[in-house]
Amino acid sequence: MWAVDGCGYRDLVSCVCCLGWPILVYPASMCGRFTLFTPIPQLTEKVGAVLPEHEIRPRYNVAPGTWIASIRQASEDSAPTLDEMWWGFLPSWAKGKGKQATNARVETVTTNNYFKAAFAKHRCLVVADGWYEWIKNTSPKQPHYLCRRDREPLYFAAIYVEREDGSLGCAILTEPARGSAVDVHDRMPLILNDDSLASWLAPDLTDKETIRNLVGHIDADLTEHWPVSTAVNKPSEGQGSELINPL
């Protein structure tokens, strides 16, 4: 189970829900960029995922509105698969109208009509090595790179939906920042621990309380961060590992 601001996830959902906030989509102000450079076979070992037929290249400045590597399990009888989804959650029933959500808050994802069906039936993992956040009130905006101290890859909790064109689009779940991440931003991606990965992907688990009790985030003291080049501020082709070098 993960907790938010010292209270249980279930309790916080109830508190937010009773306020009646009709929040449908969230801006890309948290977890808006990340990196992925760990070899794909290494990423799939922990969940026994089937490798994609095409190559997924290393990326050091992954931005919303692009195809990103994700793991999902389509049915109880099938193995998880790693493939690419569009980073942007816009259900087919929206008929192309509205904003593409890149993030969804854990506080409301199970009760919000825009997200709750996907949380129950279409959960996935977005794989990453680290992510970027920006220090507020700096000019130009100063990015920091956040990752695990042991440099192990990260598994972001995410949800997905079928888009109008038949492809799949996803949103990464976020929670209030913990550990060293609070130095940089007030929110962070929901990063699952290894024991939670199979349960998060399991398509037969649909009850939010069962999921809450089976899923947990990584320990807060496992992450660290450092300032990096402002070149991160403008994603472009050809950007490499120099982006995550400490200043």
Catalytic residues: 31, 133
Angle at 92 (CA atoms; ends 43, 210), nearest 5 degrees: 55
- Kindly provide the b/e burial profile for residues 80-105, where b requires at least 16 CB atoms within 10 angstroms of the residue's own CB: bbbbebbbbbbbeebeeeeebbbbbb
Rounded to an integer, what distance in angstroms lies between the CA atom of residue 143 and that of residue 180?
15
Task: Count Cα atoms within 13 angstroms, Cβ side, for 63.
Answer: 9
Under 8 Å between Cβ of 159 and 115: yes
Q: Which two tokens stand for residue 100?
A: 């593409």
CB atoms under 10 Å from CB of 230, counted, come to 14
Rounded to an integer, what distance in angstroms lies between the CA atom of residue 86 and that of residue 56?
14
Rounded to an integer, what distance in angstroms lies between the CA atom of residue 133 and that of residue 35?
12
Q: Measuring CA to CA, which residue among 229, 205, 55, 70 is closest to residue 140?
A: 229
Main-chain dihedrals φ then ψ at residue 78, nearest 5 degrees: -115, 155
Q: Which two tokens stand for residue 220?
A: 């807060």
